[in-house]
Structure 1
């Protein structure tokens, strides 16, 4: 498959050979400058340096030439020279760094390297320095104080983006998906931030480049490798409340033609209990290990990268059933193991085209056991095994300084095994196959305007093929003013549980079947005499479809004054074919049989505003606000028609209007953040505050919405403080840090189990 993609490009390489060339390296203060642009002056002919700062450009004519070398964060440089026929001119280019307001470089928004300020979609970057200053150790720590993002407690710590639940946001590690979700949530506490260069968060649908699960956005964890000639070794330990500890040891080395980095991280906690009156901790005891290796090697003009990660977690908890003399206590133990491997090869075919071929494999397994404390008998067990494999090829073509094309495609194979995902009647285990292709073109007719058009086609074995386009515009009337606009579609494929689940709760007696297991599951229950009546004829049901959306994003940013930036934006997402559960039959025990259907239509829309000020060189202040509406259209229509009623705690009925509707559960209509960072000599203080208004969590009066005060979680303010001091030693550096999260001891009981109250920590790190 890979050879078929590469043969046409090899032919292009032969046709593009030139008699004279210029090649060399681009660096600044001894470190390579990756992905710098090299252009022939007064023309649009040019190329881009690779990740190591090397470049090669064919010269169309003999004699004198002039190059313009530029990169984000560096002063552009003009270089003049001359080339004889057949000569290869070799250059060592040194760029001078300049201070700019925004020097971040991102890759997630367009699958190509771009300056953050030149991206046309909403994107936020959390740098390694930001992570250190706030004392982040897990991905949840890195994201919890960012504007417009919310953490949720549902089978782990999930992430809400633009009002969407956590299963609508794709989480990547170096551009590849992290697998292993529980009820749609990928637990952010699984992921250490050790070894990261930055975290990129793209808000809004990104299915045109990344496919399913990117309907709400993408979070990409980007790792780093050292530059040539640099070596590093270090260790850090941290201890905090509830016996929480985090320890990391890492080492890296960079040479002219290769570099490597490795770390080991241990994260553990004794857990805590928010309900001491009952048996069993709210958060159990656990120990989590992560090992990670990243390698890169120059193979002539090609670059080979290899990334590997393995994690494991052991968890011990308990719970009880019954009360008084009838109470029975159980030990709850769990084990999680996951690993991923990612080799990638980039080959420049000429100064215009480079091809990247990547392979990715991942596996995620869990084991859960409930054991009776009295007699040691096994009460419940559940095993789960997910395997993911992907092969992909991507070609980047920098035609000239104004046009860049990216095309690619690949195949994905996913397989499941476990107690809830048993083989079907034919003995086949759940599996899914997918073929995809994507294309993107960036056109910059002038500094004033940049246009980005992209589309992706996905053909899946279990649902209809999808085409998801997107168009983005960036307008720069001046260097201090930028307008952004995008319109696009997104989709979310049916989750494995919605397709393949076959589960009966032994204690409660209800059953749930995925779309591909429904008819078979009902037939089996009927054969066992467990079905009292069917509500619908499942043979007449349409095949389950992917959820899909149309989204609009608008934004503007302005450097109002030196050191003062204001940003405003808005978004609107229309989603249809939302997948929900509905009863399809009643069992003889009175319980229901549930299945998954495309039912609901929802919308999420909102406004964002933020201000960042740097009144002093060592002081940065920022504030943000978001207004959000996340609603079900069917409920909105019913409220407008006056057909929805509520009941107060005394069971008195009353008519509801649209103003009584709290929106989708778990969504706050108002939120704000505050941040202050101050550095004095070797000491940095970071103060972070976040606030979210009340949000619905329950439906006590049976009307399907949150409308009574007792159905809401109260508004939640949180303030965190971290102080870091660095010391220069005769050999290496020492960093000491103390911090307090949730300074004002805000709690919401078991409604928000991730808020145990005020916690404190201290850490010590040493680096060479």
Structure 2
């Protein structure tokens, strides 16, 4: 540096410090305030600074802050928080006066540092997590105009859905694995399902969701059974720090070309919610009615391809929070009615109709207690009461008289109850070592005409994990889970090891291994289901599943507005439970243990923003094991065996462009799902066996939406779903791959639909 300039710089620095010290002697005002998020909830740990000074602080868990000893006059506050757009606002400080300040933070266009909670000791950013977590935030859910959770997930990489139009249910598949190996959580607590499908995913009020966190790969150490393929954690909205808040939403949507306003045909959604808070106490409640009138499709007469469905959701929550304690009770209730109308008998002019009526009540009690900066306790308890009733009636179309049918299994109630108790402690031994021990208790019971006896399964577990940071760039998280199951002998211990290496300031490598264990559920052991389209028998002789899984990812954050993540996984499952033929009756399907199953694949996801454009572009290539390879010891295949893995590609993109001049967001959601191949063993004319390739066809899915505020408290959302008008896929198999399937085309949707929605938000502080 120039020797003549250096003294001037030192003098200038001395003068600046002197002036700063002089002003410090005149500090005599303060500002206190509250920072809210866009949904009205408090913004904890937001940074508040006075521009041009070193004065600053962070908000507490309630979003409150205090800056005192400020000089009289005009100042500019700068508020920032990870995952949210920064805010700057001028304030004026009076002599010896306290100034109040309140503002809201909107979600950032750049969500690369989203805070996550699934599998974490405490909320932390995606960058710091040892898990590769995908987040679908409230903004994307709002822009999609979805009426259910499947409408949010259907264009995500690795997700595929299979529909049973006879029962009106939908199952999820994740990274090549069926829904029975995917853990569905509501605020970290497990959801209960009647059958092997994850229909609970469609029985959660989409209007109550704050975000969805997805962890791919086994999470058995943290969350126990059913978590072999991954975890979907649906996190509900929490009451904010506002004194009073009111939200409402109405949406009308066509079912292909079928629609009647507010009635019968089409999709009709109405929702209202209220929140209130005072002196640490908070209360929230909400009600949603979601009605789908069904879709005729190719069916004739009274029958419909897609069954009419009516869902009534209700939730209520009461909680209390302070700086160190947060406890709440929440109730989620559902009544769902599906109607299957039978064809008219031309001779008797009668028709057989079936109603499937579901009641689900989920009680949960959760609490956090921060005893010190080092020690924090968490407790969770839940009770689920789930009932599904089948009611069959005979309708005389001439007289209109309806009577109950007395056929076998046509009047039935299946009951499932589940109790979950979970407690964890997080202790920071030092800045480099943290430990989290915990206990997990699950008590399941079921009964009903289709249930063999009144069985119960109790699962008790102790788990412990630790986070080790030997250096600032290395994070290691080993874990162990010890299980006692009332029916199955679990392994002595289930281990996992997750690691994260910061290879550079913008490059992170994650490597993980996990051992998985899943005991068969009550539904797989004892649930029998026979009707005109299903012949399924439970299997009390099932073995428990276990797995070894390896996955890794390389995340490159080239800039604050661009992130690219390359991932790979390889899973080996032993005794995987799937559907097969009952050896005593080839007409009946039953749960059986497959000797071995494997999945492997790669994923690539890119998230970026540029000016007014936000985008996600992804690709996956997933391979599923050819089950016929396990039969090579007993069957001689003509022409040799096909490849070990059956591969299927996927491409997706989410684009949102903001038209600032008219304050409007235009969003495009697209996904290409490649062919899904499988192999069947078929007998040849000469008595030998050959491997026959079957495929479910590829398809393109796209939604286009437009969102615009039209008044101070009102937002309009409209658009087109399923632009390519996909209804069913060509299927060369004699069966779509499960006991709930049927031969012929695989159903996907009721086709292109148009929707118009209006949402209302009002808050009073």
* Shorter-chain TM-score tier: 0.7 to 0.9
Displacement of 1:578: 1.6
Give the conservation status (yes or no) of the 8 Å contact 1:341–1:361. Answer: yes
Deviations 1:396-417 (A, max 9, x none): 1123333222111032211101
Partner of 1:171: 184
Whether 2:223 is the aligned partner of 1:239: answer no
Give the conservation status (yes or no) of the 8 Å contact 2:133–2:213. Answer: yes
Displacement of 1:358: 2.2
Deviations 1:265-315 (A, max 9, x none): 110011012222475212222210111122320378532211111010122
Give the conservation status (yes or no) of the 8 Å contact 1:584–1:594. Answer: yes
Give the conservation status (yes or no) of the 8 Å contact 1:274–1:753. Answer: no
Q: 2:719 aligns with which of 721, 739, 745?
A: 739
Aligned equivalents of 2:575, 2:307: Cα separation in 1: 37
Partner of 1:64: none
Q: CA RMSD in A?
A: 3.7
> Secondary structure, in 3 states, of the residue corresponding to 2:723?
coil
Partner of 1:439: 464
Give the conservation status (yes or no) of the 8 Å contact 2:196–2:524. Answer: no
Give the conservation status (yes or no) of the 8 Å contact 2:112–2:563. Answer: no
Whether 2:212 is the aligned partner of 1:199: answer yes
User: Could you say if the C-alpha distance between residues 279 and 631 of structure 1 is closer, same or farther in structure 2, counting changes exceeding 3 Å?
Assistant: farther
Give the conservation status (yes or no) of the 8 Å contact 1:662–1:695. Answer: no
Whether 2:698 is the aligned partner of 1:676: answer no
> Secondary structure, in 3 states, of the residue corresponding to 1:188?
helix
Whether 2:672 is the aligned partner of 1:691: answer yes
Deviations 1:344-373 (A, max 9, x none): 233333332122222210111011123233
Deviations 1:120-162 (A, max 9, x none): 2221101111100111221101111112222222462222111
Deviations 1:632-682 (A, max 9, x none): 45527749x99334xxxxxxxxx35425x783xxxx611110221111222
Whether 2:382 is the aligned partner of 1:360: answer yes
Partner of 1:119: 129
- Contiguous gaps of at least 5 residues in structure 1: 1-24, 38-47, 56-69, 77-91, 424-428, 516-542, 646-654
User: Could you say if the C-alpha distance between residues 298 and 334 of structure 1 is closer, same or farther in structure 2, counting changes exceeding 3 Å?
Assistant: same
Partner of 1:723: 706
Displacement of 1:395: 1.0
Partner of 2:485: 460
User: Could you say if the C-alpha distance between residues 382 and 220 of structure 1 is closer, same or farther in structure 2, counting changes exceeding 3 Å?
Assistant: same
- The aligned runs of 1:19-418 (5 Å cut-off) are 29=35, 33-34=43-44, 51-52=61-62, 72=82, 102-154=112-164, 156-242=169-255, 243-277=266-300, 280-298=303-321, 301-320=324-343, 329-374=351-396, 376-378=403-405, 379=407, 380-418=410-448
> Secondary structure, in 3 states, of the residue corresponding to 2:180?
helix
Partner of 1:599: 594
Displacement of 1:230: 4.9
Displacement of 1:584: 6.3
User: Could you say if the C-alpha distance between residues 131 and 317 of structure 1 is closer, same or farther in structure 2, counting changes exceeding 3 Å?
Assistant: same
Count of paired positions: 649
Partner of 2:539: 514
Aligned equivalents of 2:104, 2:475: Cα separation in 1: 27
Aligned equivalents of 2:583, 2:630: Cα separation in 1: 28
Give the conservation status (yes or no) of the 8 Å contact 1:675–1:689. Answer: yes
Instruction: Return the TM-score normalized by structure 2.
Output: 0.77
- Contiguous gaps of at least 5 residues in structure 2: 1-30, 48-57, 66-79, 87-99, 256-265, 397-401, 730-743
Deviations 1:159-200 (A, max 9, x none): 211110011111111111111232333343222211221110
> Secondary structure, in 3 states, of the residue corresponding to 1:669?
strand
Aligned equivalents of 2:268, 2:587: Cα separation in 1: 44
Give the conservation status (yes or no) of the 8 Å contact 2:626–2:678. Answer: no
Partner of 1:525: none
User: Could you say if the C-alpha distance between residues 327 and 431 of structure 1 is closer, same or farther in structure 2, counting changes exceeding 3 Å?
Assistant: farther
Give the conservation status (yes or no) of the 8 Å contact 1:557–1:565. Answer: yes
Partner of 1:84: none
User: Could you say if the C-alpha distance between residues 508 and 495 of structure 1 is closer, same or farther in structure 2, counting changes exceeding 3 Å?
Assistant: same
- The aligned runs of 1:3-22 (5 Å cut-off) are none
Aligned equivalents of 2:103, 2:435: Cα separation in 1: 27
> Secondary structure, in 3 states, of the residue corresponding to 2:113?
coil
Deviations 1:59-87 (A, max 9, x none): xxxxxxxxxxx9856999xxxxxxxxxxx
Displacement of 1:702: 5.8
User: Could you say if the C-alpha distance between residues 678 and 413 of structure 1 is closer, same or farther in structure 2, counting changes exceeding 3 Å?
Assistant: same
